Structure formats: C-alpha cells, structure tokens
Amino acid sequence: MIQFERFVLDNGLRVLVHEDPSTPMAVVNVLYDVGARDEDPNKTGFAHLFEHLMFGGSIHIPDYDEPLQRAGGENNAYTTNDLTNYYCQVPAQNLETAFWLESDRMLSLAFSEKSLDVQRKVVCEEFKEHYINKPYGDIWHKMRELAYKVHPYRWMTIGKELSHVEKAHIDDVKAFFFKHYRPVNAILVVAGNVQVEQVKQLAAKWFGPIPMGDQYVRNLPQEPVQTAARRQVVEADVPVDAFLAAWHMDARLDKGYYIADLITEVLGGGASSRLYQQLVKEQRLFASIDCYHFGTIEKGLVAVDGKLAEGVAIETAEAAVQAVLQQVKEAAISEQELQKVKNKTESVIAFEDMNVMSRANSLAFYELLGDAQLMNDELQRYQEITAADIRSYSQQLFAQTNSNVLHYLRKK
C-alpha cells in the first residue's frame, strides 16, 4: 500500500506527497495534462517539442541542467499521446533546488527565436533519424492513420508531418505553453525523504505565486466504432517483410483494458507466450513476433507486430497469426496459464513500486486518471478477470470488422 497525502494550492496545482525516509533522495515529478492528442491537427508535434524547450531555459534560469547537476540531481522527461511528464531526483537536503527549477519553468520559459530554432532543429533531426530514414520508421504512422479516422491518436507524438515542427512559429509555441502548462493543468508529486509540512511550505513559496491559468477543457472527436476490416500494403527498402495488425480496445479504466492487458501477455509476453512458441519456435514462420497495447487513457489499440522469417509468404504468416488468435477466441485458457500472466502482472507492479521515482511517476499518472488511490487498487482489478472474460473479450477484440492489417514488404 503506497501512502500519500494530497492538497491543492489556491492556483489549482494538485500536490501529492509520499514520504519514504528509507532513501536519502527526493523526487520532484511534474505531470502536465497535455499530450499529442491535444494538438491542432495542422500543428502536430508541439507537446514533444516542449519536452525539449522545457530544458532550454526558463524566464529566470538560463540553464536547467547545470544548477541541478551541481545539486547532485538528475532529470528527464517523456511525452505520450495523453500526457507530458518531467521528473528530477536530488539528494533530499537539496530539495528546494528542484522546487526553484521546476516552478520557474512553470512560470514561463525564456521564449526566444534562438532557443526555438535550436530545439526545432533537434526535434527535426530526431524525426528524420527515427521515423523517415530508419527502416520501418514510418510503420506506426501508417497504422495509426489506418486505424483512426477522426481521433487525434491518429498521429504520433513526434508529429504527423515533419513540416509541422519545421514551421513552428514562436507565437504558436507561446500560445501552446500558456494554454497547457499552467498550475491548474498540472500535478506535482514530491516523494522520498521529505515531510508533508516541508512540502506544503515549499509548494506555497515556489509554486503558489504562479498564475492559475485557464482550466483546459478537453473535447476531442471520438472515434466511431469500426465496422469493416481495413488493409494496406506498403513496399519499402527494408531487410525483411513485416506484419502488423491492430484492433481497437477499451479505455484505460474500463474492465476491457485489464482483460486486453492479460490477453497481450498470453499472446506476446516473452518466450513462453503463444505467438512466440508456435510461430517462432515451432513453425519458424517469424524471426520475431510480439503482442502489446499502448495503454492509452482513451480507447487504444492492441497490436501484433512481427518480422517474417526468410522465404515465408506474408499470406502464410498472417494465416498463422489468425490461427493463434482463433485459439483464444474459441477455447478458454487454462487456470494455470491465467494465473501465470496474473503473477507476472503482479510482479511488474511490485517491481515498479520498489523505486521511489517510479512511485512518484505512478502517483501522478493515477491522479491524472482521477484518483491516485487507484495505484493501490489496480492489482485487484486484474485478479477479478476470469478465463471466460478472456475468451469473451477476445471474440469482441479480434473480430474481423475491428481489424487493421498492414503488410510492410521488402521492395523487390
């Protein structure tokens, strides 16, 4: 059971404190309720661009990293389609340094054409290196556009097109910041060798004076239920043929999410999973194959993703995948197999909880979902899933009308 206390500043900033005197460190985690789904379809990649801009200097502090490193700290950040998370860890006695740094960039960045130009080039190079010039780099761009027709999950966090970041204007960047990176749209978690009263004083001192900002009201277009199978064939300069399929699944807090999570473990959770055992080890149709989902807050995707063995026809590989899926649709998995994947899930959750930085991260995420207490209740939701649930949901999930199939073939 992860203990924490919660309070809210007058400017709307939600603050959670998790005391852990067993560590000499303290973690300051700032989660902003903004991700790629909140971008203008014609100006995508902004949330990820900010992941870089936020380290490019704030209004009173020209360099974020240098003072943090002098205080013995380290930091990082990540952006998803749903959220943006910045976190740093410092020796507990230097906690106020982290408050100083994080509050100043929440107050305002040091916006300048020069800073934007530097970070824009960095992001554009990342786009080219990982998504344009890398083999299979655009495969999920194509799959998202195939699977989503209206929801903003149809583009990736790097952006829909390189030109959107290339043309990012300083006025658009400023507007995006003051719309989303305000106290009322943020969650601050302080964890480690800290005390609640100490955090209350520091939060009031450093974050309290920041203007609240406007509450961002999310009103995104909802993806209509898919009613027909979709397929696409792509030829590219890649070493081997690849098979990718995706099916729409339930949202993060729905029961279907937990069932889908266990299904992906049954099918793709390591070397003992069904897809690996049957299609890689026994039939030797694939060189590698995996099954996973994205765990998005709104309705997401389950995917099967594999590279074919040399000489195997893509039609043969797809038929073999469908045969494995048919097994979980037709027959309930054994109690032993179900317990195995539940045990693995429990160990993953327990392992994450061992690290104070992971605990801070999880508390912020579950608070974003609605209540940080969910972090302590989630395992029970998995334990309630039955073999009948797996079978029933597989029939719904892997229905042909819900399928999106991409054949990514080596150019001849």
3-state DSSP helix/strand/coil % of the chain, to nearest 5: 45, 20, 35
Q: Are 192 and 4 in contact (CB under 8 A)?
A: no
DSSP, collapsed to helix, strand or coil, labels residue 220 as coil
- The rounded distance, in Å, linking the Cα atoms of 85 and 65 is 16
Q: Are 15 and 184 in contact (CB under 8 A)?
A: no
- The rounded distance, in Å, linking the Cα atoms of 174 and 177 is 5
Nearest to 4 by CA among 359, 314, 395: 359
Q: Are 296 and 82 in contact (CB under 8 A)?
A: yes
Q: Are 403 and 247 in contact (CB under 8 A)?
A: yes
Tokens 């209004």: give the residue. 59
DSSP string for residues in 266-297: HHHSSTTSHHIIIIIIIS--EEEEEEEE---S
Q: Angle CA(43)–CA(187)–CA(91) in degrees, nearest 5?
A: 115
Tokens 């009308």: give the residue. 401
Nearest to 161 by CA among 138, 143, 134: 138
* CA-CA-CA-CA dihedral for 263, 268, 274, 279, to nearest 10: 140
DSSP, collapsed to helix, strand or coil, labels residue 25 as strand
- The rounded distance, in Å, linking the Cα atoms of 192 and 74 is 15
Q: Is 337 annotated as catalytic?
A: no
For the chain, the straight-line distance linking the first and the last C-alpha, in angstroms and rounded, comes to: 57
State the catalytic residue, choosing from 39, 51, 265, 367: 51
Catalytic residue numbers read: 51
